[in-house]
Structure 1
């Protein structure tokens, strides 16, 4: 798929080929849609990735992450590369004029984020030094409002992982005083999971959050892997000078929920690839969800005489928003079908003299079986499966013969 290490960069940095770049763009849009589904007013922003450590708020927040920070010196300044979207969003929000009438609302950015992970810890698509975090920060009037919103966030995080047939093992990081004062709220969180959760107690007042939930899958090798997260932050609004005006005209600091509903884009991919590995281990064929498959339909003409018809089919599918291409290489049909299988392409359409004469398509589906379908039937089936998911056009030439090897 083109997810690779970049050897010309620092350790832990990835590069994304044409198919991989498409997948990342689709995931970024999907993460935005997940955030919108919470039903809270949202603002999508963009910003820089480096911040001045001489700014007290930046320094105090950076100090929480210890030796896992990227730093650099430019002239007399010492800068830090952001750990997530917090620095940029908080630096922006401190300049906004916010009323209690505006709350709650969220700010969203797919943030290039940097963590100086140890070389021995690095793992493609999971533990990286540079990654993309679809970071959402939700501002609430007080802790009670934040707790109510976090229940929606928690439900959404579980909804998304269960869509791909997986479940989380959750770790609740919190203080003993928070447990004593908010036991009913914690019981609601646990009830949504339907299974025991692990409570990890931290020292009072050490962190800016009062609860930090880590959502882990157990991967194919039996290892816990954190994917999603949310925190309720009671410290950074004051640290960065973020305020709102309450009903009485007084200035107050909002409580901030931090969340990445599907985790970083690369970690969500790790989850999908691990799910594919589990499927293969159980005797099935590994695959990505149809909406994320770089090529959704591959059309294979049996000979040069059918190339025109194959292109016509692919163009009609493309016009309807389905990513289709044509393998017109001078190779055997069997080899081209095998190549499409290796690339996990969900639908393989073979077009020969018989199919042209009868006006039908011979369709091989990745989940199994070969059947004859009219083009309209194939399109209707694919469109039904894509309903509600983001779409994007094919990011490369329609004809496979026009592409270099990579």
Structure 2
């Protein structure tokens, strides 16, 4: 038997006999790798370890500590769950069972209505299947044979899936013990590789997502390479539930949602104090980085949106109205208005880059089922900026934006990673301008030593973009900031500047947002801080509490002084015991409590209690104000 050459990840080349399985190759390279490997990537294609090598190839092995490895574990876990269900509930019909970002699920047609108690029984049966360490064996059969098999088993959903495949298709099946499933694969080599799993919830799901089809039962689960990782994930979910911004938003009186305006948030006084603090900081940072602020109308006519490309590429997400029998649209983005501002006067290369910032209220149509607190709404304030520049300024200007992002995100204690999104199918413009724009973003990322991944085809319809995904205090990520390089809109709006050569040139434009959506960012901050906002942004920074009625006059004097100095302060002069007042202030997550008793009233001091630091002792009002202001100036997170 002839040998074939295998090029490994480190560039080394080894020879193996043709017909050697990838599992055997892994074992020969490293005993530990042989035990850990889940899949083989052969010339860029994922393969089962049981597959054999037949020609020279580049081979890499997938282990549990990778994204692909986790996906394989979860995909295999869905088959283990299906097998367990088949054992416990004979006669069920299986639809599809994919791995997803958070775990896996299987859609099932059964007369039995599954309950949370059933999940515990299914988990127990899954554990038995995992312990048996059953190999997952791939087989390929002609389409007609696969149809005959699943028709005989009355697996109507599998039959429908196969019928959608071409007549000459070869169908792949995976068998583990007494269970066989229709699946393209690949899979872990055996059920024993599913080390840690948990069934999470039950839901309904229409077959193929079509409400005209039958409603099936969906069982969600998750799986991880180790019990420790599963436990960490479950702990994170518990924390996330405690931090749910919808729950805290109500408890802290920040915002509400109403049936009279689904998807349109209502901000309460506490919410506006929080919002204004965040926006005040936004103004400070943008002044520092030399942005000029503009404001453009919320409603503009159809001609503008046709010219910008939104009418053809974004219309399904827009709201419309008529004025004087003419078609108008409520803006879903701020950029076309920014183009009109730029074109109101001539520009020279000497004033570029020109940075226009806008806090613009935009409206986008979201399906009612997708609405989710402040995270998915139908109107939101975008903290936009449109930067006009020469082609030579692309890289330094993107670097400047990245510096601004670093400053803002570090202030909130948020780490991030970057993703570069390239040209989508539904795009406008020519290949050359897209290539130039994409390469400009890539060079800027590399010049700033930012690690990034590439999202093929996920750019905006007018240009590629860098998305910034923020990591919160419990490890979740949120896409917020974005930098989009656009050569299309300046062309469509005939934007120009006079160059050093005295000739007219077309500027390049950056669209960028830092917060993204102010509303969504507030929701993220509520969950990131669990409602315990740093004092600089807290809706109520100080609460003054007299112990008895005799100290009310002095307590009011203290509160009035703080108010006059611009601090967000409250006076709690209710006829309640001081212990109750303190507890309620802590529940409301007020950073500082000033307790005023007879001693403090006589000495002109305040007893200071911090939200997390406890009793800080007595201070003069001046000393407390100095401490408070220092924490605000330094944006301290207690």
Q: Is TM more than 0.5 here?
A: yes
SS at match of 1:168: strand
- CA, structure 1 residues 295+182, in 2 after alignment: closer, same or farther (shift >3 Å)? closer
Provide Cα deviations, 1:181-220, integer angstroms capped at 9, x if missing partner: 775433124x1x4xx421112399x8322x3111123457
Is 1:373 equivalent to 2:627 in the alignment?
A: no
Is 1:313 equivalent to 2:564 in the alignment?
A: no
1:152 and 1:247 map into 2 onto residues whose CA distance is 23
Is 1:253 equivalent to 2:506 in the alignment?
A: yes
Report the counterpart of residue 197 of structure 1 in structure 2.
452
Correspondent of 1:274 among 527, 530, 533: 527
**Structure 2: stretches of 5+ with no match in the other structure:** 1-252, 424-433
1:83 and 1:114 map into 2 onto residues whose CA distance is 5
Please say if residues 85 and 113 of structure 1, whose CA atoms lie closer than 8 Å, have aligned partners that are also in contact. yes
- CA, structure 1 residues 93+260, in 2 after alignment: closer, same or farther (shift >3 Å)? same
Correspondent of 2:333 among 69, 79, 84: 84
1:118 and 1:219 map into 2 onto residues whose CA distance is 27
SS at match of 2:386: strand
- CA, structure 1 residues 208+326, in 2 after alignment: closer, same or farther (shift >3 Å)? same
- Equivalent residues in 2 for 1:104-119, closer than 5 Å: 104-119=353-368
Correspondent of 1:4 among 256, 259, 263: 256
1:182 and 1:158 map into 2 onto residues whose CA distance is 17
- CA, structure 1 residues 384+203, in 2 after alignment: closer, same or farther (shift >3 Å)? closer
Is 1:300 equivalent to 2:542 in the alignment?
A: no
Report the counterpart of residue 403 of structure 1 in structure 2.
none
Report the counterpart of residue 153 of structure 1 in structure 2.
401
Greater CA radius of gyration, 1 or 2?
Answer: 2
Is 1:383 equivalent to 2:625 in the alignment?
A: no
CA drift at 1:37:
2.4
TM-score, length basis structure 2 = 0.55
Is 1:241 equivalent to 2:494 in the alignment?
A: yes
Is 1:19 equivalent to 2:270 in the alignment?
A: yes
CA drift at 1:140:
0.6
CA drift at 1:51:
1.6
Please say if residues 394 and 440 of structure 2, whose CA atoms lie closer than 8 Å, have aligned partners that are also in contact. no
Please say if residues 98 and 243 of structure 1, whose CA atoms lie closer than 8 Å, have aligned partners that are also in contact. yes
SS at match of 2:297: coil
Report the counterpart of residue 6 of structure 2 in structure 1.
none
- CA, structure 1 residues 128+58, in 2 after alignment: closer, same or farther (shift >3 Å)? farther
Provide Cα deviations, 1:117-174, integer angstroms capped at 9, x if missing partner: 22222222221110111211111122x3022111111122123222222211321113
Please say if residues 140 and 146 of structure 1, whose CA atoms lie closer than 8 Å, have aligned partners that are also in contact. yes
Please say if residues 157 and 262 of structure 1, whose CA atoms lie closer than 8 Å, have aligned partners that are also in contact. no
Greater relative contact order (Cα < 8 A, sep 6+): 1
Provide Cα deviations, 1:199-243, integer angstroms capped at 9, x if missing partner: 112399x8322x311112345786542111111111111212222
1:150 and 1:183 map into 2 onto residues whose CA distance is 10
CA drift at 1:297:
0.9
Correspondent of 2:422 among 174, 179, 185: 174
SS at match of 1:232: strand
- CA, structure 1 residues 293+180, in 2 after alignment: closer, same or farther (shift >3 Å)? closer
- CA, structure 1 residues 221+381, in 2 after alignment: closer, same or farther (shift >3 Å)? closer
Provide Cα deviations, 1:95-134, integer angstroms capped at 9, x if missing partner: 2221111111211111001111222222222211101112
Correspondent of 2:281 among 14, 26, 30: 30
- CA, structure 1 residues 339+166, in 2 after alignment: closer, same or farther (shift >3 Å)? same
Report the counterpart of residue 186 of structure 1 in structure 2.
445
- CA, structure 1 residues 208+66, in 2 after alignment: closer, same or farther (shift >3 Å)? same
CA drift at 1:81:
1.4
Provide Cα deviations, 1:239-274, integer angstroms capped at 9, x if missing partner: 122221112222222111111123221222123112
- CA, structure 1 residues 18+318, in 2 after alignment: closer, same or farther (shift >3 Å)? same
CA drift at 1:388:
7.0
2:440 and 2:554 map into 1 onto residues whose CA distance is 69
2:417 and 2:345 map into 1 onto residues whose CA distance is 38
Report the counterpart of residue 585 of structure 2 in structure 1.
340
Report the counterpart of residue 377 of structure 2 in structure 1.
128
**Structure 1: stretches of 5+ with no match in the other structure:** 278-285, 390-406
CA drift at 1:367:
2.2
Correspondent of 1:50 among 262, 274, 299: 299
1:134 and 1:95 map into 2 onto residues whose CA distance is 22
CA RMSD of aligned residues (A): 2.4
Please say if residues 216 and 225 of structure 1, whose CA atoms lie closer than 8 Å, have aligned partners that are also in contact. yes
CA drift at 1:90:
1.3
1:4 and 1:130 map into 2 onto residues whose CA distance is 14
Correspondent of 2:318 among 62, 69, 94: 69
Between 1:169-178 and 1:228-237, the stretch displaced more is 169-178
Report the counterpart of residue 326 of structure 1 in structure 2.
571
Report the counterpart of residue 242 of structure 2 in structure 1.
none
SS at match of 2:358: strand
2:406 and 2:520 map into 1 onto residues whose CA distance is 15
- CA, structure 1 residues 77+132, in 2 after alignment: closer, same or farther (shift >3 Å)? same
1:141 and 1:237 map into 2 onto residues whose CA distance is 12
1:128 and 1:268 map into 2 onto residues whose CA distance is 12
- CA, structure 1 residues 8+181, in 2 after alignment: closer, same or farther (shift >3 Å)? closer
Report the counterpart of residue 150 of structure 2 in structure 1.
none
- CA, structure 1 residues 347+174, in 2 after alignment: closer, same or farther (shift >3 Å)? same
- CA, structure 1 residues 218+67, in 2 after alignment: closer, same or farther (shift >3 Å)? farther
1:54 and 1:181 map into 2 onto residues whose CA distance is 31
